[in-house]
A and B are shown apart, each in its own frame.
Chain A
Amino acid sequence: GENVEQHPSTLSVQEGDSAVIKCTYSDSASNYFPWYKQELGKGPQLIIDIRSNVGEKKDQRIAVTLNKTAKHFSLHITETQPEDSAVYFCAALTGGTSYGKLTFGQGTILTVHP
């Protein structure tokens, strides 16, 4: 089955700096890669996603890049703010269709220091 590896497990940055979280996946049939932000006591919330026919997607301060050949994708957060502090999860959708099983990475605890 699909295996998603996520690094780093913890990331600490100063407010205003950029943060980068990287994930690799194993199943070349995976075609959809969402990123989630989870705050304490809440369920994960989708923040950005990318499909396999796109190399990069940006939404204000966050962006995701995808390298299908290398089977890795990354989340980039620029101009970080304290409210960005949370746990971030990457995921890969297996099954070859829009529906299928989401396999998650282990998560990254991001701390943004004021």
Chain B
Amino acid sequence: GAGVSQSPSNKVTEKGKDVELRCDPISGHTALYWYRQSLGQGLEFLIYFQGNSAPDKSGLPSDRFSAERTGGSVSTLTIQRTQQEDSAVYLCASSSGGSGTFGAGSRLTVL
């Protein structure tokens, strides 16, 4: 596609459940980022993939969070045993260098 696609756009889940969020980057972009944006807040870095290099996981808030990128393209962010404080918009961006192009985000609500 022409842009970064994220799914689902909205997800409501119960505390303790696992969720998976998907990001389809722009074709050919070798860099992929995940950010978290809580209500009215800035963008919190989570994880960064660049080509075949080991990902920079320094922003993942706990071991309940993980992400993978298969075949250098699609990425999945997994949150295990969700907590209410995980409620936020999860944004994905891809890049061919420099700035990223963002998707519209996945809004996660943990009840």
Contacts and interface: CB of A to CB of B under 8 A. Distances in A.
Contacts, number: 57
Nearest to B56: A101
Most chain B Cβ neighbours within 10 Å, of A41, A43, A89: A43
A43 B42 contact: no
Interface residues of B, number: 25
Contact of B102 (A6, A45, A98): A45
B45 A101 contact: yes
B98 A89 contact: no
Contacts of B48: 100-101
Interface residues of A, number: 25
B71 interface: no
Contacts of B101: 46
A28 B91 CA distance: 27
Q: Is the interface of A mostly helix, strand, loop or mixed?
A: strand
Contacts of A49: 98-99
B41 A34 contact: no
8 contacts: A41-B104, A43-B102, A43-B105, A89-B43, A102-B33, A102-B93, A103-B45, A106-B41
Closest 5 A-B residue pairs measured CB to CB? A43-B102, A98-B97, A106-B42, A34-B99, A104-B43
Interface of A: 1, 6, 32, 34, 36, 41-46, 49, 89, 91, 93, 98-107
